[in-house]
A and B are shown apart, each in its own frame.
Chain A
């Protein structure tokens, strides 16, 4: 299976006319990167509904503070949840040659892991506040789809009355933060016409990194701001999750 997959991919890559492999690339990319955020979101979504019965029972017999449970749960889950994306990043970052500098590697891995934590936090909030697995899954699906679409990755001209929505998307902040880390020095032109506006089709000279990031890639905000927003998204919904959990009471027979 793996062999077949690798062969196909190699074949696709040798066909470097990008239009033919765009679709395929897309699938891999989506699976590869956003996968980790989704993974965190959905498994966090299940964390509380799964443990709810036990939690309610133990709370009824006054075994522990809810806050102790909540802190223990989030602090023990987060590192564990980060291990798999970390493995992925370590493997692929160097193979793809994204950047040679170790500092950039550490920073972009950090950025990615933060986005995973942010996704986890959103999942926890929805899972804790809805409580029932089926309903939570449905809400989550709609929610993540909305976040992705509104992050502006698919539609460039989002209606004006919806532009605010993208600021809720952890995808956006992680994307904006990581790109600024990677494109921190000027990009040499090679005449391929990708950066038509900046290089003008010539094969000499450099496109300014800032312009590439802000104009061509449409990145907003500084690295600090984006990282800060990711931290906020990984903390605030978590607090809401705690509040939602605290409000829940068990049934008589459970």
Chain B
């Protein structure tokens, strides 16, 4: 498709990286200035999960139909012509799946996603909820497996479970959506404990503390460093979360919706921070994002749009507008481009409704027919699909995938050369990389004893603050005093045998059994009631 290639060369021009010669570009740049830069590439990533499908064909026709659509375009998409053929086949296969009604069916979460993230760049991944953004990040971070496709780092393909995959994981920091900490710790404590646990054993304590201070100043957390985390604002918590991951100096930073729950100013400053990190420290930053402002949208170095597991666009944000115009879906003037994209991707069959009222009256059972009808329409060049489906079809994923594959092949030849290059030009770097390899073999950066001591301190900090309260102490003494007075100075004689034994545990003598059981229940209920309250406090305390 000529327009797309043009698009791509444009992309390449704006970023200054030749995409067609991706391998050359990456290896040359990596040997030039970004020796620690990591190119993360992925092509035709496919992830399928089994879903429990309770819909019987007729009743859940709408939902099932959607599933069918997704199913029918599974697999790698090779050219639009073939794609259309598949589309038809797929429709029938989708229908059969629904009609068989066997309960479990598969759902593709990622359908041949291809793209790459380059060092020094911020790649933003956008798409409606449930489009597979988080899954993509999970996959790229090596935390979930994928069924099909290639994931490569600097041209080396990674197999799930291989040592290379583990290397990727150790070089990758994954900032999840939820900011999970022990909230009673102060910001500095949190970062310090993480540093002590995760920085390599060879680093001295002073160095680790220095590193913590560096992160605190880098993320502008100085003002809140002494505050407990539960006193921090959402943006501060997010920065602490990012800081926790940055401590290990990862080359690749993946962020899952870092701006969700932040006001627009915090969101902008956070993303500015991220792109600063990418540019100044040569990190590869990949973030998913919801509703970026116009300004933010254009600040991204690269954009990956996903819809229902399909890539609908990959390139620079400004070029994306040109691309949309070519697809006759131009963004209206003065309209936030990100919002426009989102609208296109979430829009249901509204155009259908506008165009063809008759179809509106179709009931659910006829939706499958309608679907076939639609695919025929597409074949005939008529536009009945919602824009997201058009976009899913229009995007030539294979072009990107092939480029990624090309770098892969190149890398095989070049890895030796690159190694030679490294060893001759920079021994220091080579040493550090071999040291990293050793660390990876250990999986953990610190020894068991260090971990034990640090965790012990951290745990003590928590339990001390929750158990050693003046109130608890007073309670303890008060119960003791009361009990002491009740059994006040018992003489050691026959009469007090029962009392003496009851001091240790409740006596089984002289007590009406029925009463004691009910009393016991009552006590337990009280205890549980109290616990339940603390539990709900705890739940409120943690915002996730």
Q: With a CB–CB cut-off of 8 A, which chain B residues contact A164?
A: none
Q: Is A62 an interface residue (CB 8 A)?
A: yes
* Docked-complex contact A62 and B443, CB < 8 angstroms: yes
Q: Is B493 an interface residue (CB 8 A)?
A: yes
A69→B374 CA distance, assembly (Å)? 57
* Docked-complex contact B523 and A67, CB < 8 angstroms: no
* Docked-complex contact A96 and B487, CB < 8 angstroms: yes
Q: Is B481 an interface residue (CB 8 A)?
A: yes
* Docked-complex contact B444 and A133, CB < 8 angstroms: no
A60→B169 CA distance, assembly (Å)? 10
Q: Which residue of A lies closest to B535 (CB)?
A: A133
Q: Is B135 an interface residue (CB 8 A)?
A: yes
* Docked-complex contact A154 and B524, CB < 8 angstroms: no
Q: Which residue of B lies closest to A28 (CB)?
A: B486
* Docked-complex contact B494 and A207, CB < 8 angstroms: yes
Q: Which residue of A lies closest to B473 (CB)?
A: A87
A23→B138 CA distance, assembly (Å)? 60
A160→B472 CA distance, assembly (Å)? 42
* Docked-complex contact A71 and B452, CB < 8 angstroms: yes
Q: Which residue of B lies closest to A21 (CB)?
A: B486
* Docked-complex contact B493 and A190, CB < 8 angstroms: yes
Interface string of A47-79 (1 = CB under 8 A from B): 000110110011011111101110111011100
- Please tell me the number of chain B residues within 8 Å of chain A, measured between CB atoms: 91
* Docked-complex contact B477 and A199, CB < 8 angstroms: no
* Docked-complex contact B181 and A31, CB < 8 angstroms: no
* Docked-complex contact B506 and A92, CB < 8 angstroms: no
Q: Which residue of B lies closest to A108 (CB)?
A: B504
Which of A13, A175, A182 contacts B488, CB < 8 Å?
Answer: A13
* Docked-complex contact B538 and A98, CB < 8 angstroms: no
Q: Is B31 an interface residue (CB 8 A)?
A: no
Instruction: Give the residues from 443 to 474 in chain B that come closer than 8 angstroms, CB to CB, to chain A.
Output: 443-444, 446, 448, 451-456, 458-460, 463-464, 467-468, 472-473
* Docked-complex contact A253 and B477, CB < 8 angstroms: no
Q: Is B502 an interface residue (CB 8 A)?
A: yes
For the residues of A in contact with B, the DSSP-based class is helix
Which of B451, B477, B508, B520 contacts A65, CB < 8 Å?
Answer: B451
Q: With a CB–CB cut-off of 8 A, which chain A residues contact B534?
A: 46
Q: Is B194 an interface residue (CB 8 A)?
A: yes
Q: With a CB–CB cut-off of 8 A, which chain B residues contact A254?
A: 176, 178, 180, 544
Q: Is B495 an interface residue (CB 8 A)?
A: yes
Q: With a CB–CB cut-off of 8 A, which chain B residues contact A199?
A: 494
* Docked-complex contact B488 and A212, CB < 8 angstroms: no
Q: Which residue of A lies closest to B197 (CB)?
A: A63
For the residues of B in contact with A, the DSSP-based class is helix
Binds B, one of A1-9, A227-235, A236-244: A1-9
* Docked-complex contact B181 and A144, CB < 8 angstroms: no
Task: With both chains docked as a complex, state the minimum distance between the C-beta of B97 and any C-beta of chain A, in angstroms.
Answer: 24
A148→B494 CA distance, assembly (Å)? 27
Binds A, one of B37-45, B86-94, B307-315, B509-517: B509-517
Q: Which residue of B lies closest to A95 (CB)?
A: B484
* Docked-complex contact A22 and B542, CB < 8 angstroms: no
Interface string of A114-158 (1 = CB under 8 A from B): 000000000000000000011001000100110011001111100
Q: With a CB–CB cut-off of 8 A, which chain B residues contact A64?
A: 197, 444, 446, 451, 455
Which of A5, A34, A144, A156 contacts B482, CB < 8 Å?
Answer: A5
A51→B135 CA distance, assembly (Å)? 25
* Docked-complex contact A72 and B480, CB < 8 angstroms: no
Q: Is B485 an interface residue (CB 8 A)?
A: yes
Which of B138, B480, B544 contacts A87, CB < 8 Å?
Answer: B480
* Docked-complex contact A35 and B479, CB < 8 angstroms: yes
Interface string of A76-104 (1 = CB under 8 A from B): 11001101110111111111111000000
Binds A, one of B62-70, B261-269, B394-402, B525-533: B525-533
Q: With a CB–CB cut-off of 8 A, which chain B residues contact A93?
A: 484
A153→B454 CA distance, assembly (Å)? 43
* Docked-complex contact A97 and B487, CB < 8 angstroms: yes
A35→B504 CA distance, assembly (Å)? 11
Please list the 4 inter-chain residue pairs (A to B) with the smallest Cβ-Cβ separation, ordered nearest first: A95-B484, A91-B480, A96-B487, A72-B455
Binding site for A on B (CB under 8 A): 134-135, 138, 143-144, 169-170, 173-174, 176-178, 180-182, 194, 197-198, 245, 443-444, 446, 448, 451-456, 458-460, 463-464, 467-468, 472-473, 475-495, 497-498, 500-508, 510-513, 515-517, 519-521, 523-524, 527-528, 531-532, 534-535, 538, 542, 544
| Pairs across A and B, CB under 8 Å, 19 listed | A26-B515, A32-B483, A35-B479, A39-B527, A57-B176, A60-B143, A64-B197, A69-B455, A83-B467, A84-B475, A87-B476, A91-B481, A92-B481, A96-B483, A137-B528, A153-B506, A154-B520, A156-B508, A187-B492
